[in-house]
């Protein structure tokens, strides 16, 4: 499945129905001036206060997301993820690079509780 022509550094994609027309930002907060819109449910907010976006300090989640669903745009499609173009929802369970097991389990609980949404 392909959402359209691959372009270097193209951060946009078609909506979930793959209808022609305007495209959406790949992260909901990109359309909201860097803030997560109210329609996007937030998970456990035990350590995060007033963070304007979901960027972290180490990029591990970005790397894993690219391995899973990357288009391979920087390599003209040569190095794409295992499911190019899949829609992902990120869940951050770490606190400043520290990842306690209880937070990993809480992340899984959040996924299971919200899997039908």
* pLDDT attached to residue 116: 79
Percent of the chain with pLDDT over 90: 0
Q: How many domains does the chain have?
A: 1
Q: What is the pLDDT averaged over residues 59-65?
A: 77
Tell the burial category of 93 from Cβ atoms under 10 Å away from its Cβ (0-12, 13-18, 19+).
buried
Task: Report whether 73 contacts 7 (CB < 8 A).
Answer: yes
For the chain, give the mean pLDDT: 65
Question: Tens digit of pLDDT for each residue in 63-102?
Answer: 888 888 888 888 888 888 899 888 887 777 776 667 778 8
Give ∠ CA 52-59-36 in degrees, rounded to 5. Answer: 25
* pLDDT attached to residue 42: 52
Q: What is the pLDDT averaged over residues 45-62?
A: 56
The overall pTM is greater than 0.85? no
Q: pLDDT category, 55, cuts 50, 70, 90? A: low
Element (H, E) at 111: helix 101-113
Query: The domain containing residue 42 runs over which residues?
Result: 1-117
* pLDDT attached to residue 54: 54
């Amino acid at each position: 499945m392909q959402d359209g022509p691959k372009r270097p550094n193209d951060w946009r994609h078609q909506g979930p129905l793959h209808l022609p027309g305007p495209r959406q930002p790949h992260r909901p907060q990109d359309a909201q001036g860097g803030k997560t819109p109210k329609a996007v449910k937030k998970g456990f907010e035990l350590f995060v206060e007033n963070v304007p976006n979901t960027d972290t300090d180490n990029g591990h989640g970005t790397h894993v997301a690219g391995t899973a669903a990357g288009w391979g745009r920087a390599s003209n499609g040569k190095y794409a993820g295992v499911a190019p173009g899949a829609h992902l929802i990120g869940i951050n369970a770490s606190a400043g690079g520290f990842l306690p097991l209880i937070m990993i389990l809480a992340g899984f609980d959040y996924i299971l509780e919200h899997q039908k949404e």
